[in-house]
Amino acid sequence: MSAVDLSLSDDQQQFRDLARTWVDREVVPYAAEWDRTEAVDRAIVGKLGEVGFLGMGIAEEYGGSGGDTLSYCLMMEELGRGDTSVRGIVSVSLGLVGKSIAAYGTEEQKQRWLPGLASGESLGCFGLTEPGTGSDAGSLAARATRDGDGDWRITGNKLFITNGTWADWSLVFARTGGPGPKGITAFVVPTDSQGFAALEIKGKLGLRGQATAELTLDNVRVSDEHRLGEEGQGFRIAMSALDKGRMSVAAGCVGLARACLEASVEYAGQRTQFGKPIASYQLVQEMLAEMAVETDAARLLVWRVADLVDRGERFGTEASMAKMFASEAAVKAANQAIQVFGGYGYVDEFPVGKYLRDARVTTLYEGTTQIQKLLIGRALTGISAF
């Protein structure tokens, strides 16, 4: 296990400051309204592209911004601090879709799709989860078959798809062979294809501003040029994307926990009870201390994953550790923040109620806390849990 260099370079510090300033200007003032109306302003996509956030880690020759993995995590932390719904837009379009194309696409595919995704001109969604297959992605039912012209016909349903109603491209995983993971292939599907439909899911507990959808593919036709990777490689592509996706979610959770801590410290210093600020009471200080320690611990777990990725070393288990710890820490921090705010934390005039609702889902998607424990346990023992 490699050691993480805890110091940031000048470039990384400057980028973190840029991301922080941008989030404070473009996200924080609008997060509450986006939550109330269940709709992030779609203009945010172009702004994310303009500042280079949608191209982080993508080579400049494909329209990306370049940058290392730690810088990517610094950006995700700041976006998570501002509004994790916005963090999710970037995590999915860039982290799950764009980086999968960069890793597995042909030169022609990278030249075709990456510049638009990096600029915000187009957006991607990740079509893996289905109504009957969440954690058990290897059993997905969507199917792709060849027609007489050598093209593919895809039929199936996908559920809880971030960016689903906004995306121009959907990275769809469908069964092209027999049962199990080895029978799955990945396709980049235009969302304006005949037979492709997206229905937005409303009434979510959290991430209310994020466009989450159910996708229906009814005999959608795509050419073989839209196949990403080899036939039967789809499950590997999906799992590779999710390993890094867990790092991204964890980084966003660090930002969310930090937002809880910062809001709580400020409020505790202003709110008075029994003639003095509640920050002076030891039990309040205890909650703040726990938030601070767990936020810093989560950040260090994320930075370790980023370090391993940039070194070209294996990182899957460490990503599971970071995702499990950071997501649970975010839920705990948000719950404690509401306790610090008291009754005021229960109304949306203050941000901490939203933090709790947004944090809760991070223990579910891109691998539940229980799945992360199984993956970590399997790595420790060498015994498969599946």
Positions annotated as catalytic residues are: 366
Q: Cβ(259)–Cβ(355) under 8 Å? A: yes
Q: What is the DSSP string of 87-130?
A: HHHHIIIIIIIIHHHHHH--HHHHHHHHHHHHHTSS-EEEE--B
Q: Cβ(374)–Cβ(367) under 8 Å? A: no
Q: What is the DSSP string of 217-262?
A: EEEEEE-GGGEESSTT-HHHHHHHHHHHHHHHHHHHHHHHHHHHHH
Q: Cβ(53)–Cβ(118) under 8 Å? A: no
User: What whole-number distance in Å separates Cα of residue 269 and Cα of residue 284?
Assistant: 11
Query: Coil, strand, or helix at residue 214?
Result: strand
- Regarding beta strands 272-273 and 169-175, do their DSSP bridges make them parallel or antiparallel, or are they unpaired? unpaired
| Angle at alpha carbon of residue 252, lines to 187 and 40, rounded to 5° | 70
